Chains A and B, each alone.
Chain A
Amino acid sequence: MGVRQAYSMLVESGYLIEKEREVKLILAALIARGHVLIEGVPGVAKTTIAKSIARSLSLEFKRVQMTPDLLPMDIIGYKIFDQKTGEFKFVKGPIFTNILLADEINRASPRTQSALLEAMQERQVTVEGETFRLDEPFMVLATQNPVEMEGVFPLPEAQLDRFLIKVETGYPSTKGFMTMLKRIDEIEAWVESIKPVVSREEVLNEIKSVKDVRVDEAIYQYIAALVEETRRHSAVRLGASPRSGIAILRMAKAVAYLEGRNYVIPDDVKQVLVPTLSHRLILNPEFEIEGVSASRVVEEIMSKVPVPKP
């Protein structure tokens, strides 16, 4: 019940106003052993969500503010000479944690981004020939501002593919915003007071359990049909890769698990489709100019591909 319990606790608290979907997707990505790219303008509770999740899970949480002058060693760590022992010793960087919030990842230089993304993929870092394994579970929550264009280094497609999902989060509704305004002190106090409801070991066990979630043949066919449809869409220049299909499957299983089922249904696939595909599709420039977004294309594909029936 571990991560499910944390999910229920975070959602039912009512403090993460209109962020239920984001919480679910991030937790699902965690038990699917993936990393999350959160895209949203500043001030839409990206850090709060990450912090709340880390606290509720009894996992170590670190935050790095990415800037253009940040070096890879500032994230990974570095070796210094210890005068007492006469040897070099490794000083671990902030990447040695369970949940790393890489704020504004697109502000870091490509070199730093690359080092971080490599560590995300390999789940280990190598410094001067020595390899250090990262702790499990390990998840990077990277945020980026989609509006800012100056002084940023947009992530290349190959590196975007390292993120299991991209969660787009936006402004709350007027009603939600008003509730937030009225309860802001409460919310801040609540985030600081969150007690872990799940141990690290429980999370690790649940990661294993997710793999046992049943997937019917029809669901595999549905996923394949969706992925293949992205390659046929007129607005898409580069469709989804097989890795994207795997991402959909893993996320769908994790969502099913979070919802208390040991089998995947078409709704699970639909829920994760935009987050898993929107950052992986490359659109034709003419469509981009017209304001067509990848999310819209994915939604259109969803409305075109029939769900498994009967």
Chain B
Amino acid sequence: MTRLGTAVLLLVVVVLGVWGNIAFTQQLEPNRHTPGFSGYSLSDWQEILNALTKGNLTPSEAEIAASLIGSLANQSSQSQPTGSASNASLNALQEYFTLSSGNFSEADIMNAISLLNNSNIRDLLYSMFTRKNVTSSDIMQALNLLNDMWGRGEISTTDYMLALKLLSILAQSQGYTDLSKRLDYMSMKAAVSLMNNLTSILPNLTSYTPQNYPVPTGVGLGAAPQLILPSLEYLSVPQGLQTTIVTILVVAAAILLFLLAPRIATGLRSLNPLAYKKLERLLAEAGRWGDAVRLYWRAVSRVESSTGRRMLPSETHREYYNAVEASMGSSSALFKRLTEIYEARRFAGNSSRELDDEARRLYGELSGKL
């Protein structure tokens, strides 16, 4: 019985595990294989977005983001027409993250300036970078200009973001740290806006926004790994592999349980024979013989409590009835009939509804009296 239960459990786990793994992998497929995402997990993308939103993008995150956006830009350039808005945005974002990583050259700055679409802003920034001395008021003036134009919709988000980042670098180089941080923070907000716009432009990224981040649904072990073994998530094990690992672990545990089941059962039985018997009875009765049998055993428990006389394992149902009849008083007739119904249901194979109905009525009356 125990072995059979374990075997069934094992089978269920294997089926659910395989099914869940396939289902979850399929569910992630369109998201995971977004063009340009090879080598990166979706969580990296999410982390960059979160960091940008909070305004604390670290240089290493910026470096990852630059690489990631670069791959995406390559893929996009193959599928989108040259010079499309998405390509331009991706190029600008790649440049933005390159500058944010701190690992950039003068050529990168010049490249960033060249990416600006608005010629006024481009010229202004070019002159500022080529001048020897730039004061904070110059930077503030440029910022005010940028804000005005941004407010009037005269410059794109791409230009606004890149221009802010360039001004931030300039302020940093001139020793205006606070101003640089402020500008950097503003550029990050613009970058978030641009990335969100980008996800709506690129169909493969649509389901990737923080609002609809893919969550495993349906029956399976898709969500289980993170619940069961959070360390897998911590170790950055890919989610598809997490499910496989958990499935293997559960199967191994089930096989072990299968082999040790008789010993475990013997141990449990020796710990508390009566409770074990009850458990065995409950497991066996579950849904097999209907209400008549289930209610009979409930009635037995009640009678045991009220009379203080336990049913012995070797005692038949009638023997038990005879033993408690005298101490049950007027309710003994109800219990007697319930015993007869139990016998008819259990040993005669009589599965008529009338028996169940009568058993419910008798049990109700018996419960009231005991």
Q: Which residues of A contact B (CB under 8 A)?
A: 214, 216, 218-219, 261-267, 270, 302-310
Contact = CB atoms under 8 A, between A and B. Distances in A.
Given A270-B316, A309-B281, A310-B281, A264 B347 contact: yes
The 3 lowest CB-CB distance pairs between A and B, nearest first, are: A263-B348, A306-B313, A310-B285
A310 B284 contact: yes
A267 B347 contact: no
29 contacts: A214-B347, A214-B348, A214-B349, A219-B347, A262-B348, A263-B344, A265-B316, A265-B317, A265-B318, A265-B343, A265-B347, A267-B316, A267-B317, A267-B318, A270-B319, A302-B314, A305-B314, A306-B277, A306-B313, A306-B314, A307-B313, A307-B314, A307-B315, A307-B316, A309-B277, A309-B284, A309-B313, A310-B284, A310-B346
- Among B296, B344, B346, B349, the one with the most A-chain Cβ atoms within 10 Å of its Cβ is B346
Interface string B273-286: 00001000100110
A112 to B, nearest CB: 42
A302 B347 CA distance: 19
A261 B349 CA distance: 13
Contact of B316 (A262, A266, A304): A266
A304 B312 CA distance: 10
Contacts of B277: 306, 309
Contacts of B297: 310
Nearest to B348: A263
Nearest to B339: A265
Given A309-B281, A310-B284, A216 B347 contact: yes
- Among A216, A302, A305, A310, the one with the most B-chain Cβ atoms within 10 Å of its Cβ is A310
Contacts of B344: 263
A307 B346 CA distance: 13
B289 interface: yes
A262 B347 CA distance: 10
Contacts of B167: none
A273 to B, nearest CB: 12
Contacts of B315: 307
A308 B281 CA distance: 10
Contact of A216 (B317, B319, B349): B349
A248 to B, nearest CB: 15
Contacts of A306: 277, 313-314
Nearest to B318: A267
B363 to A, nearest CB: 15
B164 interface: no
Contacts of A216: 346-349
A303 B313 CA distance: 8
A262 B344 CA distance: 10
A55 B314 CA distance: 39
Given A265-B318, A306-B313, 13 more contacts: A214-B347, A216-B349, A218-B346, A261-B348, A263-B343, A263-B344, A264-B347, A302-B314, A305-B314, A306-B314, A310-B281, A310-B293, A310-B297
